[in-house]
Every structure is written in structure tokens, then in C-alpha cells.
Chain A
Amino acid sequence: MLAFLVRRVLIMVPTLIAISIITFVIIQLPPGDYLSSYIAELESQGESVDPARIAALRAQYGLDLSATEQYLVWVGGLLQGDLGFSFEYQQPVTEVVGDRLFLTVVLNAATILFIWVVAFPIGIYSATHQYSWGDYGLTLLGFIGLATPNFLLALVLLYLGNVWFGTSIGGMMDPAYIHQPWSTDKALSVLEHLWVPVVVIGTSGTAGMIRRLRANMLDELHKPYVVTARAKGLGPMRRLVKYPLRTALNPFVADIGNLLPQVVSGSAIVSMVLSLPTTGPMLIAALQSQDMYLAGSFLIFLALLTVIGMFLSDLALAWLDPRIRLGAGTGR
């Protein structure tokens, strides 16, 4: 088990290095840099730009270095916790991102929790009551959830939230608390606002998970080992939870790694519609203005989430499934 852990952690290192290189290349891919798009913007407004000042800025930001040197500087900074400097905001990236990263994590953790809490009972019910009216009804709801565009759902829920609960439209907290230090009231306000984006972002994920859980459970429900459990005299509920559900869990645990980045990037459009102070909209803006270090930090953050998610799901799988832990095939 220890060897497995060490091996698994060691694999993460080259993965992260490769990802950082690819991220950097992608950021560098569009022609020009932040300054050239800044100049173009100024010139379109009829202002002249002093070439000497531009050169000075270039040198200051390190944009005159070769791509390799720029990469090394950037990665060196990352390792020391220095995310670099945002040209657009004229502030260190850490300060620009600020609460956003934290709020993003809160939002997405809440969403994943929502998906699981809703999808599990429904999926299990659908599987154990296959082809019943309940199954059909829930399946229909699931398909509607899959088919409705997120932003439309966002608008509808915002309207309903405002009309029924009087919650202010958009944002993740009441406007009064923005830029205020954290307090109990601010946290409560966040919770009050959280449910709309959570439902919006989580709906399609929930619907998808219900379908998969139902299919997985149906595969397992009639396996011989379930019959054995029945022959032992186990009651329906205990049997279900101990055997088929346990086996059906594997694909979900394996899925955690995919879930994290998917939810994070999937929330960008919704966040723009809902004007949420999460990382999604900022990432898009940073990519547009070629705000290199800001965009790079976001992309690395996403990559880190993926890699960590995969690591966690591998750990959980090894914990859940002795076949993986003990390194055995499914030999007959």
C-alpha cells in the first residue's frame, strides 16, 4: 500500500511539469503579448505611445526575455507561491484572485455535494424500481435536467429567487458585504445566495449521475453474489447497501477526478450570467487581454485540481476495492 502511495505521488510530479509547459505554450500561442494588445488599444483611441516607455515596461515585466526564460521565471515564482503580476489589474495575481478562489472552491464543493445527495437516492430508487411509474417520472425529470441549458435555468431561478425569497439578483452575497472582511453575516449571506448557482450548475451533473448510477446498479442487482446474500437471509435494504451499491460506487469514485475540473470550468458561463465572483469569468477576461500570469495561474489551478482529484479518487478506489489494493486480477 505504501509503495502504491509513493508511486502514485511520484507520478504526479512529471504530470504537473508537463501540464505547466503546455499551459505556458498555450498562453504564448496568440501573436503578441499583453503590451502589444495594450498598445493597439491605446492607438485605437488615438493616443500615441512612447517606444522608450514600452521598452522599459517590456524589460520590467520580463517580456523581452526568451520564452524559455519567461517560463522558468514563472515556474520559479509558482514554486515559491508567487503567482506573478497581473498586467490588467496592476496588482499581484494573488491579490487579484483573492476571495475568488475560495468562493469557487466553496461553490464547487457545494455543487458536488448537491449532485451526490440528490443523485444517489434517486438513482438507487430508479434501479430497484425499474420500469415503474416512479422510475419513468424521475427519468423524465433527469432528461429535462440534461436538456435544459444552464444559463436559461439560471435566469429562471434568479427571477424566482427574487420574487419568492427576495434574494437580490446575481452575485454570491449581498452587495453590502462585497470587499468587507469575513464575518458570520457575510458567510450567511453567501449561503443564502449559494443555492441558485449550485442548483444551476449541478442539474445536468445530477441528471447524468442518476442515469449512470441506475445503469451500474441494474448491472449489479442480479449478479450471483446478490442472490447469495439473499439466500443468507439478508433483508432487502441491508443487502442492497452492502453488496450492489458498494460495487456500483467504484465508477463514481473513479469519476471524482473528472468531476472537479468539469464543474470548475463548466461554471464559467453560468458565473457570467449570474455575475458570480468566481474564477470562471476572470479566466475568460484574462485570456482575452493576454494577461499572461493571471491566465496561467488559473490554468495551473485547474490542472492541479484535476491531478489532485485523480489522486484522491485513486486513493479512495484502493481503499474501497481490495482487488486494486492487493494488485490482483479478477482471475477466475
Chain B
Amino acid sequence: MIPARPAAAPPLLQLRSVRIGFDLPEGQLIAVRDVSFSVPHGGVVALVGESGSGKTVVSQSIMGLLPRRARILGGEILFADPDTPGTVVDIARLPAEGRQIRRLRGRRISIIFQEPMTSLSTLHTVGNQVREAVEVHRLATGRLAEELAHDMLHRTGFPDPARAYRAYPFELSGGLRQRAMIAMALVCRPALLIADEPTTALDVTVQARILKLLRDLRSELGMTMLMITHDLGVVATVADEAVVMFRGEIMESGAIDDIYRRPGHPYLKALMAAVPRFNMGRDERLVPLREIGPAGGRLLAPRDEDPATGPPAGDPDPVLLRVDRVCMSYAARRGGRLTALDDVSFDVRRGECLGIVGESGCGKTTLARIIMRALQPDSGVVRYAADRESPGPVEALARFRREVQFVFQDPFGSLNPRMTVFDIVSEPLVIHGIGDHASRRAMVSELMQAVGLDIRHLTRYPHSFSGGQRQRIAIARALALRPRLLVCDEPVSALDVSIQAQILNLLRDLRGALDLTYIFISHNLAVVDYIADRIAVLCAGRLVELAPRDVLFARPVHPYTRALLSAVPEPDPDRPLDFNALADPRQSIPSEWPMPFRSDDRHHPGLVDVGDGHLVRAAHAP
């Protein structure tokens, strides 16, 4: 027996003309057509595409995990297991619940999913779920299985594997949950790991650490990886080769360098042009796959012509909204208080776009709610410029509600499915008793044109629109009262890259055309960089740095801001993530920051101006 592989060893995984169809009541839908690619031993191949491109269906077919209504109509999925040289299995032909495919699943091919919370069972401990994979394949039982699980939890970076073993998934943070998921997938030492959007639900700094972990484990365990993602930055960081899919077909495939430097297919070129990158020129525009041309009209014209609500001529206060020393805390479950916001102060100037960046749990949503006056802060105030002109608090609030509007993150949850688009967009006018039916109709038509939607669709219901269209409806609704200030809470994070570019351009154009001011909240630095004039960085409820956009990116001062900036994978193979720089998870813990930035019981640094309107939270100028 000669274990050496023959010269022309087959690749670990090879797909040949795979076609997958869904049996739907209205007929068969071909979700994947003629997909062929191969994953070499030890390589990392990225399968890239937007939602609906069929990339997840392909990954499911490799695991034999297709939904019941989906069927493989043709082609071969050849898996050459390195443990049994010379044999090649065609997974496409194995019965979905058969013994053969079950022997591969979890043992030779493993998968990790996007959402570790729902992908792990809440009712079982992490240890139980990790060792189960070992026991199911009869690789070990009892003490040995437990030891294997401990070992893998250790390798996936749990500081205390024994404790993690006994923990339930809901007791872990998002990043640790994904590590538990990875431990579960790798505990049997599979030859191939499929990672289906493994970092999409995570914060950038956590994402960077998980990507590093995957890279380290890959070389340590000698496995091959198929990475499924929509994020071109992640692809450039981890993959050797990329396969680009669009509507069930492969558009382009090749080595990363070729793909990024010489994109051939128009779709790939368009995709590249739609991703916001750092250091784009001030006037450089993203190019969405389909540009929408917003058209402002008479009714939406800037308010200067409107004496009733216009600012008093000659004395425009440059500050539209002032957040002054706002603190907010919630009662924690096990006694004590959880600080959501700690002494947050900033101004929003008339006509600017202020970006607020932070990771999950940093308090940005609480801040948005306080600005919207949906929550009362424990201390501190939010002053709106026009408050002084109102005779009383009731009138001030009514005016505030007209002039400040909100755009939500989730365009699916924020539109009432039982209302037509017309009802949705005109509802603010009805609530505030503005105009009669005819004038409302005219206003709604103009709003629809402003966001590039067809006015013939006014009688439809939200379910017949795509995510991007829904977000445009939500924006139209927010504009109905001709607000001055728009608070956008992660308005593009639920959208595909190309749609994201469309919405970002729309928001940019509307701001110029309608003389709006934005507060733009996002976790995505590149997006904020594209749209904002000034950027505020939040961490653990504290405003750590506030600077004009160019200054912040060119000269970040605060250690957290630096960590944040270094953790964003860029869609450019020449600028890979510096994994060594971001291994430290203490960068987001205020009491671990170096002096003069440290913030704990004894140190309460305030904001220090380091020039050019660049504010940093530090005890003194660093």
C-alpha cells in the first residue's frame, strides 16, 4: 500500500454542473444552474454572492442538508476523502437521510452557521453539544469524549474550557457562542469546513478575532475551508480563491489577486464599485447595480420659503440638537445597574451628517431612543433648537415630533404588513392633521418619486417589495412631514451591498436636495465614512472620540478607535488585516485602556480637544 497521492489527485471537493431546483406550488424554480468549481486540498475557497444568489443552497447540497422541497436535478458533487485515498463519493447521489451521508456529516465535512444563538440549542450545555458530535460518530465515549471536547474548546480560544463546557449558549457572548459552534464543528477533525457567513452577525473586532481563529485552526488541523459570504472584505482577508455567484450562476472564479485586480465580469465590477471603502474621495460616489434618480418636487422644497417653520432670518443657530451630559442605566437582573450611557455630550450642527459608530452593546440604540424622546435619560438633557420658540412643553414636543424623524434598521419589521404603501407614507400627515385627502395624495406621490419608487405601487402592501424598496418606503414615510433632522439607526445593515449603495446614495442626495440634517448610526465604519461629515465613536456607553471624518481616519487617537479601524477587513488583497495587532480583546474594556484614557472608579476623563474639532476622552491631551 502506498499512501502517497498520485500526481493528479482529485481535488478534495469538486462540483460539476450542479443544478438544484425547488418544487414550489407555482412550479419549479431553478435556484442553482450549472455550478462547477473545485476546492483543492488545504485551500480556502470563498463563495461570494448577495442574497438570493444560491450560495447557501450550494453549501447545503454539499452537506446533503437541502430543504425538503429542494432537489438536485443534475450534476455531481465529488468528495475525495483524504482518509480513504482513491475513493471518491458523489454526494449528490446519496440519500439525504442515509447512513453514508450521515457518516460524512459532522465527521468529514462540517459546517458553521451565521447565527450562533439560534444554531445552538438553548436547552443543552455547550459541552453536551460539542461531545455529541464525537459520540454520534463513535470516535470516543465517556471521559475521552469529554476530554476531546475540552481540548477543542481550549483550541477555539475559551479561556476556561471547563466552565464553557458546563455553560449554556445564552450565558455566552456572541463571539464566544460562535467559538462554541466552531468547536462543535471541528471536534471530529473534518477534512472540509464549510463556513456559512460565520462572522456576519458579529461585531467587527469580534469578527476579526474569529477570522484569525479560523485561519490558525486551519493550519493547525490541516483542513480545507469553503467560506460562504457576501462580504468582499472578508474574502480578501481569508481566501485564496473566490467563486462569485449571481442568481444561481457562477459569474466569475479564480485566484483572489486576479479577481480583485482584474475583475472581468460586469457583475463583479459592479459589486466592487458598490462597496464603500475607506479614503474614498469626498465627491466619489458608490455605483449601485441600479441607480435610482430621486426627484425633489415643489411640496418637498427646502423650508426657507416657508415662513411658518423657517429659522429666523439672519440668526441661524448653528447647533440644531445638543446632547448634554446624558447618562442612562438599566436595572440589571442580578441587582445593580447596567450603565448604557455615561456622560455623553455632543452637538449636531444644522445641515451636517453626524455619524455614530459603535459595536453592539455600546449604547447607540439607547442614545437614538433618548434623542427621539422615547426614553427619559437618568440625567442630562437633549435640547432641540426650536424648543425655545415654542410656548410650552406640549407644543415643543408636537413640533419636535414633526421635525425629527426616524428610520429603522429592519425594513421588514418597521412597516405594518396590513397597511398599503399609501397608508404607510401618508400616516404621519394624518396623525398631525396636515392637509386634506387631495393634498396628502399629492404629497405622497412626490415622496414616492423622491425615493425613486413607482407611484403606481401605492395600493400595494409591503410584502410585495424587496428589502431595499421597503427601506425606501420607510424613508419616504420619514420625509412626509418635511423634517429637519433624520435619525437613521443602522438603515442599511439589513441590506445587500448593491442595495446598500443605492440607499446610501439616496440618503446623500436627499440631504442636499431637502436641506436635511442626519444622525447616522451604524456599526459599519466604511458606511459611516462614506456618508458622515463628523464621526462620534461610542464604546461601553462612553463617547470616546469625536472628529471630522478625514481627521478620524487619518489620525485616530483613542486606543479603541484604533482597534476598531484596524479590525475592518478591506476589499483589497494588498491591505490584509493585521491579525497580530487585534488579538487583544481588552481594547473595548474602559478600565483596561492605558493612561490617560483609562476610565474606571478612580479615573473619569473628560473630552479633550486635540485641535481641528477633534475631541478625545482622556485625562489630558495624549
Interface residues of A (CB under 8 A from B): 223-225, 227-236, 238, 242-243, 246-247, 320-323, 326-332
Contact = CB atoms under 8 A, between A and B. Distances in A.
B123 A320 contact: yes
Contact of B333 (A232, A323, A327): A327
B103 A227 contact: no
B170 A233 contact: no
29 contacts: A223-B118, A224-B118, A225-B121, A227-B65, A228-B113, A228-B119, A228-B121, A230-B105, A231-B65, A231-B106, A231-B185, A232-B132, A232-B133, A232-B136, A233-B102, A233-B104, A234-B102, A235-B97, A236-B97, A242-B124, A243-B121, A247-B121, A247-B123, A323-B123, A323-B170, A327-B334, A329-B333, A331-B170, A332-B117
A225 B129 CA distance: 11
Contacts of A332: 117, 174
Interface residues of B, number: 35
Given A228-B184, A233-B102, 14 more contacts: A224-B115, A227-B119, A232-B105, A233-B104, A233-B137, A238-B136, A247-B121, A320-B123, A322-B122, A323-B168, A326-B168, A326-B171, A327-B334, A330-B170
A233 B133 contact: yes
A193 to B, nearest CB: 41
A236 B64 CA distance: 14
A223 B121 CA distance: 10
B415 to A, nearest CB: 22
In the complex, the 8 A-B pairs of residues with the closest C-beta atoms, listed nearest first: A233-B106, A232-B106, A233-B105, A224-B118, A224-B119, A225-B121, A322-B168, A232-B133
A228 B123 CA distance: 14
A234 B184 CA distance: 13
Given A232-B184, A328-B171, A225 B118 contact: yes
Contacts of A329: 170, 333
Interface string B89-112: 000000001000011111100110
Nearest to A327: B333
Contacts of B124: 242
Contacts, number: 84
B431 to A, nearest CB: 32
Contacts of B125: 322
A272 B133 CA distance: 56
A231 B118 contact: no
Nearest to B121: A225
A228 B110 contact: no
Contacts of B577: none
A227 B105 CA distance: 11
B63 interface: yes
A326 B125 CA distance: 12
A225 B333 contact: no
B137 A228 contact: no
B120 interface: yes
A236 B95 CA distance: 13
B123 A231 contact: no
A299 to B, nearest CB: 38
Nearest to A250: B123
B123 A322 contact: yes
A224 B113 contact: yes
B170 A234 contact: no
A115 B222 CA distance: 54
Interface string B329-359: 0000110000000000000000000000000
B354 to A, nearest CB: 27
A230 B120 CA distance: 12
A80 to B, nearest CB: 41
B314 to A, nearest CB: 50
Contacts of B104: 233
A140 to B, nearest CB: 23
B110 A231 contact: yes
Interface in B177-194: 181, 184-185
A224 B123 CA distance: 14
A247 B113 CA distance: 20
Nearest to B177: A332
Nearest to B113: A224
B123 A246 contact: yes
A231 B111 contact: yes
A326 B172 CA distance: 13
Contacts of B137: 233
Contacts of B174: 332
Interface string B393-409: 00000000000000000
Nearest to A332: B117
Contacts of B132: 232, 234
Most chain B beta carbons < 10 A, residue from A246, A331, A332: A332
B72 to A, nearest CB: 17
Contacts of A326: 168, 171
Contacts of A330: 122, 170
Contact of B136 (A223, A224, A234, A320): A234
A99 B97 CA distance: 54
B123 A321 contact: yes
A246 B124 CA distance: 10
B119 to A, nearest CB: 4
B197 to A, nearest CB: 12
A55 B113 CA distance: 81
B65 A230 contact: yes
A187 to B, nearest CB: 40
Given A322-B123, A327-B333, A332-B174, A231 B105 contact: yes
Interface in B143-201: 168, 170-171, 174, 181, 184-185
Nearest to B68: A222
Most chain B beta carbons < 10 A, residue from A228, A238, A327, A329: A228
Contacts of A231: 63, 65, 105-106, 110-111, 185
B121 A233 contact: no
A159 B120 CA distance: 53
A232 B105 CA distance: 6
A121 B174 CA distance: 37
Contacts of B133: 232-233
A236 B97 CA distance: 7
A171 B118 CA distance: 53
A25 to B, nearest CB: 38
A223 B119 CA distance: 8
